[in-house]
Homo-oligomer: A and B are copies of this chain.
Amino acid sequence: MFFLEFSKNGQIFKWPINFSYLPMNNVLLAKPFHIETGAINIAVLNAEQAKDMDIKHLDRVLIKSGKKSVICSVDITNISVKKGEVGLFVEPWNKLGLKASENVTLETVPKPASMDFIRAKLDGAELSKEDIYTIVNDIVNDALTDVELTAFITSSYCKGLSMEEAYWLTRAMVDTGEVLDVGKGPIFDKHSIGGVPGNRVTILLVPIVTSTGLKMPKTSSRAITSPAGTADTVEVFCPVTLTKKKMEEMVRTIGGCMAWGGSFNLAPADDKIIKVEKPLSIDAEGQMLSSIMAKKISVGATHVLVDLPMGPGTKIPTHERAEELSEKFTRLGEKLGLKVYCIVDNGSQPCGNGVGPALEARDVLKILQNDPTGPADLLDKALLFAGTILELGGKAKKGKGQDLALEIIKNGKAYEQFKRIVKAQGGNPNISLCDIKVGPEMFDVKSEVEGMITMINNNLISKCARAAGAPHNQGAGVYVIGKLSMNIKKGTTLMTIYAESAEKLERAKEAIKGKEPFVIQ
């Protein structure tokens, strides 16, 4: 036994010393875990080992192999990793270029600076430009764990984002992604905040607008919880994943495109935020405004139309809310140098008849082909938006935009332009209604009473179409016949469900069982 001498208040004191401790060892044998997270890098440590190194669950470590290194978030295990080992998920394993188990070194690294700012936001602070850029950079680089990212999203949701914060969040999202170069303006774009089933305005709008020589480098999203996003429906006609070069070329040659917004790195932070936000089913307003604007700025837009569908079952229940959101969109647009025009319309029922990719694609094609069974409400809405852009772009006089838009539909120019776009994106421009498959399982939802339709539950119709298999099964969904104020007899078909299997049809029927997609009084 050895003693350490120690003096206090003049007294000499002896303390025993124990030499039996092991030295700290940061060299560990890497072991592959054949699982990926799709984002953040995970390293798995043995519980004892972690304690000894003072590393806790979700702490960050830097793992090095030769000249390569990767920052990982730590998971702790009692059984699957032994002392002296470190388990690596697919992402870090590949980033380190490991082929077989070999020694790597591990050291702890502090939490990213973002965490200080996220904590400040939790306490209600207003974040600075630098704070926000740091956070967005960390989001884009997968440096935040799900827990940390959730804290950022919920804090922004609870405490709100100021106009200044939303501005910098937008700029940071743009600057951490790629930006399209489509020449000088005006460049038009359109966004719908969603919530209305069907509503495939974009696929009519882009052909009408770009047929006149105006530019519209349109990107759209895929469905996350809805039965179809615009990108899902466009995909019925042609591929939607375009390269940056391809998009730029299309805008230059034919004025526009209808691409998926995730085709390349356009404001990529948004997608990472959505991945955590969606499981919580929250829509943080400040982040929503920033995300939308960032995508628009990234494609070079100078004029943006925002579709704000209002009414029960939409994201905007009241006119006050619509006004408030309009004002915020316009103000944020102004700060960003964008001209934003908000169009508040009635969103209390599906727009068009089809809900689901193929059914919606059929609606659009019918209108472009001047088929009399095409949905009039969808056409009207498309004309409203197209008319506005044609006037803004100087193609029509004030008040005459919608007439011109209708003319472009009627004279077939919109359809010609649509075919040009479909062909340029690699689809078959001559696709016919019969080529667009639906079903094969179907079920008619009929009215059990007589009366007038006084309410339609958008949410329930979306859930039903989703349960039927949309958007993954392109031909699945709901064909909505009943519309508000329609007089209905007992036994009238209100909507028809399409699914690809009997099970999915059952699931769709289950989704509306005992509920009222249509209120008839």
Contact = CB atoms under 8 A, between A and B. Distances in A.
A186 interface: no
B34 A440 contact: no
Contacts of A80: 34-36, 90
Contacts of A496: 6
Given A75-B37, A78-B36, A8 B373 contact: yes
Contact of A4 (B118, B439, B500): B439
A449 interface: no
Contact of A35 (B8, B87, B278): B87
Copies assembled: 2
Given A440-B18, A496-B6, A24 B279 contact: no
A280 B147 contact: yes
A440 B38 contact: no
A90 B33 CA distance: 13
Contact of A442 (B4, B278, B472, B479): B4
A15 to B, nearest CB: 5
Given A90-B79, A147-B150, A500 B21 contact: yes
B122 A8 contact: no
Interface in A411-444: 433-440, 442
B503 A24 contact: yes
A344 interface: no
A281 B496 CA distance: 53
A100 interface: no
A56 interface: yes
A148 B90 contact: no
A475 B19 CA distance: 11
Interface string A495-512: 010001111100000000
Contact of A279 (B13, B148, B500): B148
A44 interface: yes
Interface stretch (A61-69, A153-161, A315-323, A335-343): A153-161
Nearest to A434: B16
B57 A275 contact: yes
Contacts of A51: 472
Nearest to A25: B503
A138 interface: no
A154 B146 contact: no
Contacts of A77: 35-36, 38
Contacts of A373: 8-9, 11, 13
A151 interface: yes
B76 A38 contact: yes
Given A158-B154, A442-B4, A122 B282 contact: yes
Given A54-B466, A122-B154, A281-B115, A19 B440 contact: yes
A155 B145 CA distance: 18
A210 B124 CA distance: 46
A469 interface: yes
8 tightest A-B contacts by CB? A21-B500, A158-B158, A18-B437, A17-B440, A150-B150, A154-B154, A34-B80, A58-B279
26 contacts: A4-B440, A9-B373, A11-B372, A11-B373, A14-B434, A16-B434, A17-B438, A17-B440, A21-B501, A22-B501, A23-B502, A33-B33, A37-B75, A52-B473, A54-B472, A56-B224, A56-B278, A59-B279, A122-B158, A122-B280, A122-B282, A146-B150, A150-B154, A154-B154, A154-B155, A155-B158
Interface of A: 2, 4, 6, 8-9, 11, 13-19, 21-24, 33-38, 44, 51-52, 54, 56-59, 75-80, 87, 90, 115, 118-119, 122, 124, 145-148, 150-151, 154-155, 157-159, 224, 275-276, 278-282, 372-373, 433-440, 442, 466-467, 469, 472-473, 475, 479, 481, 496, 500-504
